[in-house]
């Protein structure tokens, strides 16, 4: 039996486990008895060329190519040929469904009607919303929708959504935030996120982790309203958007979470009361015994070094993931950090199970080997000593977008 797809093609498409394609190879080979190799040109036409390919897209593309280019069945009688083609289609559909994101039967987290209507609107500014906390701007450019805050004349990007592909995380830091899912020891049943923006991260996790309950706390209710009105966010029984201050929520709510994500910004920096030792101790108290916390912080300033040091004072270990675009995702665990091999094993297992669009093993490669060095030049930030604004200016060259 000849191979249907050569292994190098799957390697190029970011799916190293050739065994995952076994079903399609077997089906097409049984029907056609011939070698069918999809053209790279056809594969590049699936979605936007610069996007990572979801395994489902690749498998369905291979199936279509196999059907379109099959030769072995053409010599069969018409009735027999139709029967075999029908069998191929049914088995292919079942195969694709088996590898689809596990959201079947779940309540939709996005209103696709809202997003489709926004996609049809002309490019440019769609809204300017003034709230007691933020100056909010909603802008559209082709298929991307952006929420930004204006502070002291500078626009800081809070969230970017791909209106055509709801599973794609546009910003590099938001992709990296998903690496935190490999750190909790227990299954990710409860997730808390502080800071909403356009809701890209919470929606991504909700769609790929169908059993997880996700609470997102946002201090600015107008941000929540804008995310629903323009980005199409929908609340469900397991995904909630709560209006309030993150620290106040943690003080009042005694529930424990497997994973806590910190992405609350006002302009270019995190509010000081969400950066102190006392705050991180509170976060630690709200984690399950094997839980983890991930925080989005800007690099290149004394505030970055001080944040890493403060995290290290509270948690037994901290891993750092630079985005290469000005942000670093700091991940800390309540227990000792897993080793390099343990993290790799968890990343591979979760990727295999959930089929994240942004590959966890690839994101893991951005992990810094020495995460302790940034802390050496930082200062401990406490409720009594938190010169956040000053530290944010030391070492900074120019205002950055979030």
Q: In this structure, are 182 and 315 located in the same domain?
A: yes
Does residue 65 form part of some domain? yes
Q: Which of 55, 77, 98 is the last residue of a domain?
A: 98
**One domain, residues 204 and 329:** yes
- Domain boundary pick from 63, 98, 133: 98
Tens of pLDDT, residue by residue, the chain (402 residues): 333 333 333 333 333 343 344 444 433 443 334 333 333 333 333 333 344 444 444 444 444 444 444 444 444 555 555 555 555 444 444 444 444 454 445 689 999 999 999 999 999 999 999 999 999 999 999 999 999 998 877 888 999 999 999 999 999 999 999 999 999 998 779 999 999 999 999 999 999 999 999 999 999 999 999 999 999 999 999 999 999 999 999 999 999 999 999 999 876 778 989 999 999 999 999 999 999 999 999 888 888 999 999 999 999 999 999 999 999 999 999 999 999 999 999 999 999 999 999 999 999 999 999 888 888 888 999 999 777 666 666 655 544 444
| 86 and 206 both lie in a single domain | no
d(CA 157, CA 148) in angstroms, rounded, equals 4
Chain-centroid distance of CA 65 in Å reads 30
- Check whether residue 67 and residue 189 sit in a common domain: no
* Sequence-separated (6 or more) residues with CB below 8 Å from residue 144: 160, 161, 162, 163, 170
Residue 330 within a domain: yes
**Domains: count for the chain:** 2
155 within a domain of the structure (yes/no): no
Which range marks the domain in which residue 342 is found?
Answer: 167-393
Instruction: Point out the domain boundary residue: 41, 75, 98.
Output: 98
Pairing verdict, β 257-262 and 287-298: parallel
- Is 241 domain-assigned? yes
Same domain for 52 and 187, yes or no, is no
110 lies in some domain: no
Residues 87 and 173 in one domain: no
Beta bridge partners of 139: 125, 146
User: Is 174 a member of any domain?
Assistant: yes
Shared domain check, 194 and 93: no
> What pTM did the predictor assign?
0.74
Rounded CA gap, 236 and 203, in Å? 11
């Amino acid at each position: 039996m000849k191979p249907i797809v050569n292994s190098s093609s799957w390697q190029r498409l970011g799916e190293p486990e050739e065994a995952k394609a076994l079903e399609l190879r077997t089906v097409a080979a049984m029907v056609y008895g011939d070698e069918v190799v999809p053209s790279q040109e056809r594969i590049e036409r699936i979605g936007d060329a610069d996007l990572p390919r979801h395994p489902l897209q690749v498998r369905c593309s291979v199936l279509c190519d196999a059907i379109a280019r099959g030769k072995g069945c053409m010599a069969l009688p018409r009735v027999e040929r139709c029967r075999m083609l029908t069998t191929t289609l049914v088995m292919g559909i079942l195969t694709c469904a088996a590898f689809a994101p596990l959201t079947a039967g779940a309540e939709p987290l996005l209103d696709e009607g809202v997003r489709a209507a926004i996609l049809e609107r002309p490019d440019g500014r769609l809204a300017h919303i003034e709230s007691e906390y933020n100056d909010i701007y909603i802008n559209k450019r082709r298929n991307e929708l952006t929420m930004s805050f204006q502070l002291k004349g500078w626009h800081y990007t809070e969230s970017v959504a791909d209106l055509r592909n709801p599973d794609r995380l546009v910003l590099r830091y938001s992709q990296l935030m998903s690496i935190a899912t490999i750190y909790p020891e227990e299954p990710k049943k409860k997730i808390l996120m502080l800071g909403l923006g356009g809701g890209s991260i919470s929606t991504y996790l909700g769609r790929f982790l169908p059993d997880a309950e996700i609470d997102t706390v946002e201090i600015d209710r107008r941000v929540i309203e804008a995310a629903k009105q323009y980005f199409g966010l929908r609340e469900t029984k397991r995904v909630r958007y709560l209006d309030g201050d993150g620290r106040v929520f943690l003080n009042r709510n005694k529930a424990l979470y497997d994973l806590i994500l910190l992405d609350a910004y006002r302009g270019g920096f995190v509010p000081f009361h969400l950066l102190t030792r006392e705050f991180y101790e509170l976060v630690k108290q709200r984690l399950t015994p094997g839980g983890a916390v991930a925080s989005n912080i800007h690099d290149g300033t004394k505030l970055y070094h001080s944040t890493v040091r403060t995290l290290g004072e509270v948690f037994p270990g901290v891993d750092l993931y630079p985005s290469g675009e000005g942000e670093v995702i700091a991940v800390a665990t309540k227990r000792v950090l897993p080793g390099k091999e343990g993290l790799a094993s968890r990343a591979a297992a979760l990727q295999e199970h959930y089929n994240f669009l942004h590959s966890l093993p690839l994101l893991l490669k951005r992990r810094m080997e020495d995460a302790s060095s940034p802390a050496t030049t930082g200062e401990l930030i406490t409720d009594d000593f938190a010169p956040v604004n000053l530290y944010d200016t030391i070492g900074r060259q120019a205002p950055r977008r979030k």
